[in-house]
Amino acid sequence: MISPTEVVDIVLLILLAVTGVAVIRTRNLFAAVMLAGIYSLVSAGLFVVMDAVDVAFTEAAVGAGISTVLMLGTLALVGYQEHEPRHTPLLPLFVVVLTGGILVYGTTDMPPFGHPENPAHQHVAPHYLEESEHEVGHIPNVVTSVLASYRGYDTMGETAVVFTAMVGVLLLLSRGPLPRRVHHNGRWITVRPGTTREELEARMLAESGDEPEPVDGEGARG
Amino acid sequence: MSQNLPALLVVVPLLLAPLAALSGRAKIAWGIATAACWWTLYAAISLLLRVQESGVIRYSLGGWEPPYGIEYRIDLASAFVALIVAAIGAVTIPYAGTSIAKEVSEDRAPLFYTAWILMLAGLLGIAITGDVFNVFVFLEISSLSAYSMIALGQDRRALTSTFQYLIMGSVGATFIVIGIGLMYVMTGTLNMVDLAERLPMVESNRTIPVAFTFLTVGITLKLALFPLHLWLPNAYTYAPSAVTAFMASTSTKVSVYLLLRFFFTIFGEVFSFEQMRLNMVLMPLALIAILAISLVAIYEVNVKRMLAFSSVAQIGYMVLGISFGTVLGVTAGIIHLFNHALMKGALFMAMGCVMYRIGSVQLDKMAGLGKAMPWTMAAFVGAGLSLIGVPLTVGFVSKWYLVQAALAEGQWFVAGVVMVGSLMALIYIWKVVEVAYFQEPDPDHEIIEAPLSMLIPTWVLVIASFWFGIDATTTATVATQAAETLLGAMP
Amino acid sequence: MIALGLFNYWAVIVLMMVGFYTLIARGNLVKKLIGLNIFQTSVILMYVSFGKVEGGTAPILIEAAEHGAEAAEPILYSNPIPHVLMLTAIVVGVATLALGLSLVVRIKEAFGTVEEDEIQSASL
Amino acid sequence: MDDRVILRVGAKILIPFILIFALYVQFHGDYGPGGGFQAGVIFAAAFVLYALVFGLGNAIKVLPPKAAYFCGAFGVLLFVGVGYASMALGGEFLNYSVLAHDPTHGQHYGIIGVELGVLITVFGVMVALFYAFAGRRRLDR
Amino acid sequence: MSEGWIIGLTVLLPVIGAMAVLLLRNAPNAREAATLVAGGATFWNVWGLLRLVQDGARPRLDLLEVVPGVHLAFEVEPLGMVFALVASFLWPVTSLYAIGYMRGHHEENQTRFYFFFAIAIAGALGVAFSANLFTLFVFYEFLTFCTFPLVTHHQTEEAKRSGRIYLGILLTTSVGLQLVAIIGTWVLAGTLDFRTGGILAGTASTGLLSGILVLYVYGVGKAALMPFHRWLPAAMVAPTPVSALLHAVAVVKAGVFTVLKIAVYVFGIDLLQTLATTSWLAWAAAATIILGSLVAFQKDNLKARLAYSTISQLSYIVLGAMLANDLGIIGGGMHIAMHAFGKITLFFAAGAIMVAAHEKKISRMHGLGRTMPFTFGAFFVGSLSIIGLPPAGGSWSKWFLGMGTLEADQYGLLAVLMLSSLLGLYYLIEVPVKAFFFAPPEDAHHGEGIKEAPLPSLIAIGITATATVAFFVWPDLWYDLMTMVVGGAP
């Protein structure tokens, strides 16, 4: 007999599939980003159905929130339209079908979805559910006690990952003074920050008429 | 402090990384990075000595007993790999001080060194952790920092190659996560030792072979085994010199270590080799990597790229050793981890010196460098001899064990391929030697020797690659013991 | 939900493959990252499915007093471990995404395009 | 600019509530869903909203990029620092039980500390990321 | 000083000499004096060791353990003594010769030349004294690499090409075949030490051991068994003293010495006799002997002719080893010495002609004997030794080799030896005969301004030519040593 939650589960999964396929099909990147946001939001819903409220919360905040904002910010810089694919997608299709096939093969021996007797629910998890109250203290949300204490080291690593991402993005994107555009002999020239006057004059003399290569923003905000 | 040493090995860099980020000055950040690298070298050496003396060290992070908490579990293999990473870090950081000052703008340098420290911490974390999910977390720390450093290369293609690396690396990491999930669902644990105990109960199950497959594919993506190596040549070619040297000597090594850890400690060699017939897959791939990729290297005219392809081929050697599944083979693999780190580090550093002075590592630009930069090119030749496998260099020791492992299995053909591979290395190394020593330099360019701050670290590695080739008993003993531990031949 | 059997896993696998396909088949770098995002979200879905316990509730302990009448029977909770792991994975995912996007921005500035084949022809 | 009045007023009213909600998420993490990470994201979202409505320039005045950057690094320091504190008091790294006489109290302090570290880092990083992307102008325009 | 350290010092002395050469690079006279002093000292040391060996001692020096179970170690035994004597004696002699040649020919980079020359001798002595296969391999490769700068001394395109062939063939064979065989030996026998009677007996099927033997014999590329002989003529682009020492003495003899050593101390004569590939390899050597002679026959360039003659003569020694009996081994061992002295005389003469008359082609040397009688006289003596005619030392080694073929009932091989000597008679004796008795070519100016080579060179030629004759009268030194090798009383 199918229970109401199962119906919700199935409906959400179908919704996800539809969204996913729509992402593949659309050539409008703006739409794709939005659909990806929706995908995150719907999966957040699915997480709630599967009792993962913390994950749902985070997925909603990150997947639908931050990720979407970042992607939109990027699109504003790189344009909204995707080109027609030029090669036949046979190889990717093969890889995907193979990977999926292997995974499906792997699931065939798995205990049924949601069965309380699954080995995963028998070994370490019960310890957390039963003992965290004594060991960690009164923190009803077991996810929090596992996250911050039992597996606190992972969380520290996760914080470090976030920090690493910031370091990386700032290395790539930060810049100090923007390159200037200088008008010279009826043409505009882009000048990197830090160029001295002598260099500039020498370059103007040497300039043969080509538009200079795109400028790399050197210098950081700190 | 000493009982906390396992944690300190990793968390001292993790403490220093944000400090470097906040320092705001290139010099200070470099100083902090140097401190981090040298500290880890000290800690790694002490840990290795302690493991040799008193066996496996276990350290429960957060005080929670495994499998409830995360533990650090340091056996000889992990201590050895940690030592490799730390040693290379300690040698390359003085070098980076000079080369990065030229390749990366001053105001980005603090962030650069922060990324450097984070990468170091990530790699060390992978090497000593005893928890599979923790592996993933630290893998991401090291990968993300590697991406950001590679992207700083001066050529714009650095950006695209980083992107390619990011995509392939993320796919690899996701595959690893899938594999971990499948293992978890069948066993309910994430602790390596616990997994090793519980997996045999469910091995006949279809899920575990699939988990094994996903982990193997994921890790081989990270370690750039043919044919999943596509990201590596580009990334190594366009990254800043110091980063290439550091990465080439450490990050793929750590991935190889992971492969060992999963194959032998977690799944066990019986499952990996008898049930999954791993050698049927790994050995052909390794052999193709050795032959085909060496051939590609021969026709390459950008020397950094040539060396990068050579790295892919050398990874083939390591995987080949592992694919025998014997103590001798795994010893060969482990010892080549160390040896290749020394020689490839030195080679890339020599090329960094060339880059520093002439701004290019194209073969035709290197004419006459043997006279103009005698020490740099001598270092290149020295480390190159090692790559070829000339006796009394570390490269020979690797080959010695690898061929021995092959012959012990009666695989004369494989032994032949190993030798052909080293002869191909001779060809591509010699191409550089001929250009540098037999062609007249361009008289228009005044080229002078690289600065000492870059030459000395390079030579440290070159000398080390001879030292450990002349007296390989220490490394060989450690590698053999590590292999025995991994294969369970020793308690 | 046991009635669903393995269907849930299979559906999740299909979703994963949709993301994976977008990732490897598409030439637009932004689209690739969107694919990666979907791929990773679906993996999270898989993990969370692993943690689900039929008839269970979110792993937030309920006080005996609130629990009241049903005290005789132990309460079933869903498995918290996959949740914890996936919180980390989400964060790692967004970190990777941010770095990837900043690369895309720089690539656009350096090559004038974010289409893979055009970049390739531009860098020759 | 007149057509944005409603937006501005709305935002002005909304932002304090978002901040309070973030704090709630942070400190209610022990009892319900939530914690440092989610709270950090929400905090950052408040800032992003402010920046979108009042302009990047104004947002930078409220929270300079350097400050966001500092937060990103400081949170990590705080987290790691809690680990060192427990080490200094004789426990293993991140063993909060030694932070107070009663182990469960210690655990509690530790968890608050590291959650705060997570909050600060995530907030700082998210804002810094936003600044980095938003501050990058298209060159071909 | 213990005996062991004398070995160490002996190997080290050339290196010290090399360092001195480097230090004295700005003072040519002092530089060359340093070479000569080091050469003399080295020979003196070897002579001291010879006394010990003749008394039945086996001095040994264990340097270090490279990988567990594998040592870098020296041990002096009679066969190694033969090679060491040859190399250490001919080094100062060749240096003497080189002083005249290099100055007379105005060669560049003379310091580098003397430096690597000395280093190469250290390599050769290391090969001679090695106590196990590993040490032998180390010095074998070392010799390859440190002679590379000598081969490519002129740094021209041609030198570069030749260098490629040189390095390519020597490394391909040694790494691709020899090293595999060595590691195979290690896996089978668990040791790499040289032991009388061999270490491989009974460790594996004769089929496998036969295969390993093939790997060894072809893997020692320096023995120049066809088809791996191309490096030798290619290396002739080097200055003549290099060709003389390295390609008549150090490098090529390191090759055949290795073959002999492996035959005697790794396989053992008893085991060799049971292997299927032994006689097959003997015939491969025979083919090289004939083919090498035939090619030499056609070369007009004197150095090229000598090179092919060397290829042919080296296979005598391989053949001796593959005969797998005492006489063959004795003959092979003696031929190391006899051929060395004979061939180096020939090379010296060729170089002298080049310095004095600037002629490389035999056809242009007609009549030159009248202006350079001493040189061509020495050439004649050397030729006799190579062909195996009295009164030159070569006749003894050929005699024993011939006896060896009879002992092995290989009459066909005996015929090969005969035929080759006949060919040699023609292609070597042709040179002095035409030089003395033929009229010079019309455009040559042999009479004008050409005299004998510089004095140091002449002295060197005189020494080697005299020695060649002397060994006919007193071959006992070599014979006694080789008898000890095969287990007879000294």
The answer to whether the Cβ–Cβ distance between A147 and C87 falls below 8 Å is yes
Residues A135 and A150 in one domain: yes
- Please count the residue pairs, one from chain A and one from chain B, whose beta carbons lie less than 8 angstroms apart: 138
Residue in B closest to E164 by C-alpha: B430
- Mean pLDDT over residues B383-399, rounded? 90
Percent of chain B whose predicted confidence (pLDDT) is above 90: 54
Cα distances (Å, whole numbers) of residue A17 to A29, A42, A50, C49, E337: 18, 11, 18, 16, 85
Which residues of chain D make contact with C100, given a CB cutoff of 8 A? Answer: none
Q: Where are the alpha helices (DSSP H) in E57-178?
A: 78-104, 110-129, 133-151, 157-173
Which residues of chain B make contact with D76, given a CB cutoff of 8 A? Answer: 14, 17-18
- Please count the residue pairs, one from chain A and one from chain D, whose beta carbons lie less than 8 angstroms apart: 150
Q: Between residues A113 and B45, which one has the greater pLDDT?
A: B45
- The pLDDT score that the predictor gives to residue E114 is 83
Assess contact for A130 and B114: CB atoms under 8 A: no
- Mean pLDDT over residues B102-109, rounded? 84
- Chain D residues 121-140 with a CB less than 8 Å from chain C: 122, 129, 132-133, 136, 139-140
Q: Which residues pair with A191 in a beta bridge?
A: A180
Return the residue matching tokens 């040859």.
Answer: E86
Assess contact for B91 and B241: CB atoms under 8 A: no
Rounded Cα–Cα distance for residues E196 and E183 (Å): 20
Q: Between residues D44 and E196, which one has the greater pLDDT?
A: D44
- Give CATH for domain C7-42+79-124: 1.10.287.3510
- The pLDDT score that the predictor gives to residue A203 is 64
Q: Is the per-residue pLDDT at B143 higher than 90?
A: yes
Chains C and E touch (3+ CB pairs under 8 A): no
pLDDT in tens, E186-242: 888 888 888 887 888 777 788 888 888 888 888 888 888 888 888 888 888 878 888
Judged on CB neighbours under 10 Å (0-12, 13-18, 19+), B89 is buried
- Chain C residues 20-49 with a CB less than 8 Å from chain A: 20-22, 24-28, 30-31, 33-35, 37-38, 41-42, 44-45, 48-49
- The pLDDT score that the predictor gives to residue A221 is 35
- The pLDDT score that the predictor gives to residue A212 is 45
Which residues of chain C make contact with B178, given a CB cutoff of 8 A? Answer: 43, 46
The answer to whether the Cβ–Cβ distance between B397 and E67 falls below 8 Å is yes
Percent of chain A whose predicted confidence (pLDDT) is above 70: 77
Nearest to B68 among A106, A124, A169 (CB): A124
Q: Is the per-residue pLDDT at A150 higher than 60?
A: yes
- The pLDDT score that the predictor gives to residue E25 is 79
Q: Is the per-residue pLDDT at A39 higher than 60?
A: yes
Nearest to A159 among D76, D110, D137 (CB): D76
Taking 50 as the pLDDT cut, the residues of chain C under it are 1, 69
Which residues of chain E make contact with B401, given a CB cutoff of 8 A? Answer: 67
Which residues are within 8 A (CB) of D20 and not within 5 positions of it... i.e. 6 or more apart?
Answer: none
Question: How large is the ipTM?
Answer: 0.88
Q: Between residues B269 and B14, which one has the greater pLDDT?
A: B14
Q: Is residue D139 part of a domain?
A: no
Q: For residue E342, which of E424, E255, E229, E451 has the smallest C-alpha distance?
A: E424
- The pLDDT score that the predictor gives to residue A146 is 87
Which residues of chain B make contact with E176, given a CB cutoff of 8 A? Answer: 416, 419-420, 423
Q: Where are the alpha helices (DSSP H) in E175-301?
A: 179-189, 206-219, 231-234, 240-245, 251-261, 269-274, 277-298
Q: Is residue A78 part of a domain?
A: yes
Query: Which pair of tokens denotes residue B62?
Result: 């957060």
Residue in A closest to B137 by C-alpha: A157
Judged on CB neighbours under 10 Å (0-12, 13-18, 19+), E442 is exposed
Backbone angles phi and psi of B443, in degrees to 5: -65, -15
Assess contact for B113 and B148: CB atoms under 8 A: no
Assess contact for D45 and D14: CB atoms under 8 A: no
Residue A142: give the domain boundaries. 121-175
Neighbouring subunits of E (3+ Cβ pairs under 8 A): B
pLDDT in tens, D94-112: 888 888 888 888 888 888 8
Domain layout of chain C by residue ranges: 7-42+79-124
- The pLDDT score that the predictor gives to residue A218 is 41
Nearest to C119 among B160, B162, B178 (CB): B160
Residue B298 has, within 13 A of its CA and on its CB side, a CA count of: 14
User: Residue B13 is which amino acid?
Assistant: P
- The pLDDT score that the predictor gives to residue C78 is 85
**B22 CB within 8 Å of a chain D CB:** yes
Number of Cβ within a 10 Å radius of residue E99: 26
DSSP category for residue E27: -
pLDDT in tens, D47-91: 888 888 888 888 888 888 889 999 999 999 999 999 999 988 888
The tally of domains found in chain D comes to: 1
* DSSP-derived secondary structure for D49-114: HHHHHH-HHHHHHHS-HHHHHHHHHHHHHHHHHHHHHHHHTTS-TT-GGGGSSSHHHHHHHHHHHH
Q: Which residues pair with E301 in a beta bridge?
A: E361
Among D37, D74, D78, D94, most B C-beta atoms within 10 A, so best to mutate, is D94
- The pLDDT score that the predictor gives to residue B351 is 92
Q: Is the per-residue pLDDT at A217 higher than 50?
A: no
**% helix, strand, coil for chain D, step of 5:** 80, 0, 20
Please report, in angstroms and rounded to a whole number, the separation of the first and last CA atoms in chain D. 23
Computed over every residue of chain C, the mean pLDDT equals 83
Which residues are within 8 A (CB) of E455 and not within 5 positions of it... i.e. 6 or more apart?
Answer: E100
Query: Which pair of tokens denotes residue A40?
Result: 């995150």
- Chain D residues 107-136 with a CB less than 8 Å from chain B: none
Assess contact for E490 and E480: CB atoms under 8 A: yes
Q: Is the per-residue pLDDT at B215 higher than 50?
A: yes
User: Residue E79 is which amino acid?
Assistant: L
Q: Is residue D111 part of a domain?
A: yes
Query: Which pair of tokens denotes residue E393?
Result: 């030392």
Q: Which residues pair with B195 in a beta bridge?
A: none
Judged on CB neighbours under 10 Å (0-12, 13-18, 19+), E190 is exposed
Rounded Cα–Cα distance for residues B455 and E438 (Å): 63
The answer to whether the Cβ–Cβ distance between A178 and D137 falls below 8 Å is yes
Domain layout of chain E by residue ranges: 1-273, 275-490
**B15 CB within 8 Å of a chain E CB:** no
The answer to whether the Cβ–Cβ distance between B22 and D97 falls below 8 Å is no
**C103 CB within 8 Å of a chain B CB:** yes
Instruction: Give the dihedral sign, CA D93/D96/D100/D104.
Output: negative
Which residues of chain D make contact with A145, given a CB cutoff of 8 A? Answer: 107, 111
Q: Where are the alpha helices (DSSP H) in C1-124?
A: 7-25, 29-51, 64-67, 80-111, 116-122
Query: Which pair of tokens denotes residue E446?
Result: 């042999």
- The pLDDT score that the predictor gives to residue B465 is 92
Rounded Cα–Cα distance for residues E424 and E428 (Å): 6
Confidence bin at A179 (pLDDT 50/70/90)? very low
The answer to whether the Cβ–Cβ distance between D33 and C109 falls below 8 Å is no
Neighbouring subunits of D (3+ Cβ pairs under 8 A): A, B, C
Neighbouring subunits of C (3+ Cβ pairs under 8 A): A, B, D
Q: Is the per-residue pLDDT at D18 higher than 70?
A: yes
Neighbouring subunits of B (3+ Cβ pairs under 8 A): A, C, D, E
CA distance C68 to chain B (A): 30
The answer to whether the Cβ–Cβ distance between B174 and C40 falls below 8 Å is yes
Nearest to C107 among B136, B159, B181 (CB): B159
Assess contact for B89 and B80: CB atoms under 8 A: no
- Mean pLDDT over residues A36-51, rounded? 90
- Please count the residue pairs, one from chain B and one from chain D, whose beta carbons lie less than 8 angstroms apart: 50
Nearest to C44 among A9, A53, A55 (CB): A55
- The pLDDT score that the predictor gives to residue E10 is 83
pLDDT in tens, B300-349: 999 999 999 999 999 999 999 999 888 899 999 999 999 999 999 999 99
pLDDT in tens, B167-197: 999 999 999 999 999 999 888 889 998 888 8
Backbone angles phi and psi of C64, in degrees to 5: -55, -40
Among B386, B430, B432, B475, most E C-beta atoms within 10 A, so best to mutate, is B430
Which residues of chain A make contact with D96, given a CB cutoff of 8 A? Answer: 149, 152
CA distance C29 to chain D (A): 17
* Long-range contacts from E162-167, C-beta under 8 angstroms, 24+ separation: E162/E234, E162/E235, E162/E236, E162/E237, E164/B430, E164/B434, E165/E230, E165/E231, E165/E234, E166/E231, E166/E234, E166/E235, E167/B426, E167/B430
Instruction: Give the dihedral sign, CA B436/B442/B448/B450.
Output: negative
Among D21, D27, D30, most A C-beta atoms within 10 A, so best to mutate, is D30
Return the residue matching tokens 């290297």.
Answer: B297
Instruction: Give the dihedral sign, CA C97/C103/C109/C115.
Output: negative
Which residues of chain A make contact with C32, given a CB cutoff of 8 A? Answer: none
Residues A135 and A160 in one domain: yes
Q: Is residue D141 part of a domain?
A: no
**B210 CB within 8 Å of a chain D CB:** no
Assess contact for E123 and E142: CB atoms under 8 A: yes
Taking 50 as the pLDDT cut, the residues of chain E under it are 489-490
Instruction: Give the dihedral sign, CA D56/D61/D64/D67.
Output: negative
Query: Which pair of tokens denotes residue E327?
Result: 């006489």
* Long-range contacts from A36-40, C-beta under 8 angstroms, 24+ separation: A36/A63, A36/A67, A36/A68, A36/A71, A36/C34, A36/C37, A36/C38, A37/A63, A37/A64, A37/A67, A37/A68, A38/A64, A39/A63, A39/C38, A39/C41, A40/A64, A40/A67, A40/A68, A40/C37, A40/C41
- Chain C residues 42-101 with a CB less than 8 Å from chain B: 43, 46-47, 50, 81-82, 85, 88-89, 92, 95-96, 99-100
- The pLDDT score that the predictor gives to residue E100 is 76
Rounded Cα–Cα distance for residues B256 and B240 (Å): 24
Which residues of chain A make contact with D93, given a CB cutoff of 8 A? Answer: 153
**B463 CB within 8 Å of a chain E CB:** no
Nearest to B63 among D80, D81, D91 (CB): D91
Show the 3-state SS of E121-139: HHHHHHHHHECEHHHHHHH
